[in-house]
Structure 1
Amino acid sequence: GGWPELMERNHALALAGRQILLDKLDLPQPCPDEMVGSMAVVQLPDEQSDAVTKAGIAPLQEALWEIFKIEVPVIPWPDARGRLVRISAQFYNTLPQYEYLAKALLELISL
Structure 2
Amino acid sequence: MIAGMLCVLAWGMWSIKRPQEAQMLQDSVKGSAAGAAFEKTAVLTDSNGKIVNFWIRNNGTTSVAITINGKGSRTIKPGTEGHISADVGYFTKDYTFKASPTPNGGDIDIEYKIAQQD
Which TM-score band (shorter chain)?
A: 0.3 to 0.5
Higher helix content, 1 or 2: 1
Larger Rg: 2
Higher relative contact order (CA 8 A, sep 6+): 2
TM-score when normalising by structure 1: 0.34
TM-score when normalising by structure 2: 0.32
Higher strand content, 1 or 2: 2
